[in-house]
Structure 1
């Protein structure tokens, strides 16, 4: 950078230089004091800073953390004595493990992170998204170097630990919610132990599947197991429907047989008692009893038959009998006319 070249005595001084020289000659040392006061005031004014809603201010004195401020208008001694960092602690952030989102909308799989070993020594492809926010700005800034990288590594450790305790079928189908819950619990313990100042809010399992090379074959096995479970459930439902019905029919037949037995036994006892009574009466009056039994038998037989009484002279007429009762139920002849 070229240095300023003062004009020679023969050249004319710039106007502002002339005004400054005139002011210094007029006010003397007070001009220097005034300029210094203005500079100090401006320097002190640079210590004012604003912390917005959902933010925390972290003040440092010669690089050491001394205070954490809340939202509002705050003041600290200006640089280089003190500095202030404003950190957003309300926004929800996220890290991706096992994949990376691309701008084109297609995710890029990171096999080094996503491939994990299960308890039954199978390889499973697991991808998760972890949502978090900053709960302590000072710890987030100063406790660990690159806290987001530490969080990503911690997520991978927690996820591998959780998946390693389960079978591949449990990770993929049966216990997906448990994988998320256990991973979140383990991850919270890790970030608290590292004092990263991070609060984990959610762990979402995006993908839990067999590796791409064997995925189709694995899905066939899963579908076969699902078909087996479905058939077993259908057979169980059929059994639960048939057995109570069969038990009900058997119970009804048993109760009907018991009722029939009781009816036959009581009827037989009644017939035996009636026969004993008739026998007693027959021994006391045989003729009367025989005649009464004969009349009762005729009453029972003739009560169910149609009786027609014709006098001796009825056969001399043209029509001895007109069966009007039989004609009441007769069907009229069908006409042959069409």
Structure 2
């Protein structure tokens, strides 16, 4: 293609126009007229300069620190109290609240709070709360993260949106922790472990970002299965809780009955041992007594026989449980002897 450079040059000159800059000469004339009308123009100028210098005074509150920037670059940090910085635009100061604990909600948003009626309205955010567990189940996790400023320099200059950074990092950390746990642990006994693991992992992520943020706490607000199957999961969780309760009750019963049984066994063994000792000692004593009597019997048979007879009669007559009838030799010859028989109740037959 052949370009007609002369036509192009004419079109360019035709379409160009001149832009005139501001007429500073007229502006200087207006300022000169204004100074002539104001006799104290130099005084006003000094007052303006003084006010400009005084604009560098600032106060840092007790819960804040002052972060001074010089021409936009970080210069220094000032503690609470009155301070001075070079006036704008040379220096400017930011005062972040380093002691205030801030919170981020993940999986839900608080719409309104009524402290009097304790009525709190929420809006669910399922795209943040639905997560996949390690056993490939979907669980709805809603939690909050509390944090505060650890390093104001990093906090102000290393991250553009601290709240969004914390929210995105917290969501990523929670998804990783939930993915390493099964759904039973997330719904029942593993909530505390999940909170601690998420807090540790979230702090590691923010430290890698050099965000200057310290995580205070991660708190699970609500953990439940998807609403379509929540009733079935509740039944399963209830059955598992009943199982744990029954096991604990059985353990408690075992811990209660075993010591009692061991105590009763020890008591029976002690009583048997004591009975054994008493029987053995009694048998040894009777054996020794019999041997001594036998020794005396061999020395004097008649005397020993009569002594044994008298001791036996004495023992029988002194026993109140034995019914006794005493007859003389003469009476015994005229009496027909008979046998005393007892019935089932231990009484003589014929007696009432």
TM-score (norm 2): 0.72
Q: For residue 277 of structure 1, what is the aligned residue in structure 2?
A: 292
Give the secondary-structure state (helix, strand or coil) at the position aligned to 2:121.
coil
Q: Equivalent of 2:137, from 122, 127, 146?
A: 122
| CA distances 1:151-206 after superposition (whole Å, capped 9, x unpaired) | 11111112122222222222222122222222222222222221222222222221
Greater alpha carbon shift after TM alignment, 276-285 vs 169-178: 276-285
**CA RMSD across the alignment:** 3.0
| 1:32 Cα offset (Å) | 5.0
| CA distances 1:214-238 after superposition (whole Å, capped 9, x unpaired) | 2221121111112122222222222
Aligned partners of 2:35 and 2:41 also within 8 Å = no
Q: For residue 53 of structure 1, what is the aligned residue in structure 2?
A: 62
Give the secondary-structure state (helix, strand or coil) at the position aligned to 1:174.
coil
Aligned partners of 2:63 and 2:80 also within 8 Å = yes
Q: Equivalent of 2:112, from 95, 103, 116?
A: 103
Q: Equivalent of 2:240, from 216, 225, 240?
A: 225
| 1:95 Cα offset (Å) | 0.6
Q: For residue 245 of structure 1, what is the aligned residue in structure 2?
A: 260
Q: For residue 167 of structure 2, what is the aligned residue in structure 1?
A: 152
Greater alpha carbon shift after TM alignment, 120-129 vs 93-102: 120-129
Q: Equivalent of 1:71, from 80, 83, 87?
A: 80
Greater alpha carbon shift after TM alignment, 204-213 vs 300-309: 300-309
Give the secondary-structure state (helix, strand or coil) at the position aligned to 2:227.
coil
Q: For residue 113 of structure 1, what is the aligned residue in structure 2?
A: 128
Aligned mates of 1:139, 1:280 — CA distance in 2: 112
Q: For residue 202 of structure 2, what is the aligned residue in structure 1?
A: 187
Give the secondary-structure state (helix, strand or coil) at the position aligned to 2:222.
strand
Change (3 A) 1:284 1:136: closer
Change (3 A) 1:281 1:39: closer
Aligned mates of 2:292, 2:235 — CA distance in 1: 84
Kindly indicate whether residue 308 of structure 2 is the aligned counterpart of residue 299 of structure 1: no
TM-score (norm 1): 0.75
> 1:197-216 counterparts in 2 under 5 A?
197-216=212-231
Give the secondary-structure state (helix, strand or coil) at the position aligned to 2:127.
helix
- Structure 1: segments with no counterpart, 5+ residues: 1-17, 25-30, 312-338
Aligned mates of 1:216, 1:54 — CA distance in 2: 48
Change (3 A) 1:281 1:185: same
Q: For residue 322 of structure 1, what is the aligned residue in structure 2?
A: none
Kindly indicate whether residue 46 of structure 2 is the aligned counterpart of residue 37 of structure 1: yes
Aligned mates of 1:118, 1:35 — CA distance in 2: 72
Aligned mates of 2:163, 2:228 — CA distance in 1: 32
| 1:150 Cα offset (Å) | 0.7
Aligned mates of 1:299, 1:181 — CA distance in 2: 90
Change (3 A) 1:98 1:292: same
Q: For residue 337 of structure 2, what is the aligned residue in structure 1?
A: none
Give the secondary-structure state (helix, strand or coil) at the position aligned to 1:214.
helix
Change (3 A) 1:266 1:85: closer
Aligned partners of 2:53 and 2:87 also within 8 Å = yes
- Structure 2: segments with no counterpart, 5+ residues: 1-32, 114-119, 329-352
Change (3 A) 1:230 1:21: closer
Aligned mates of 1:20, 1:258 — CA distance in 2: 126
| 1:310 Cα offset (Å) | 11
Count matched residues: 289
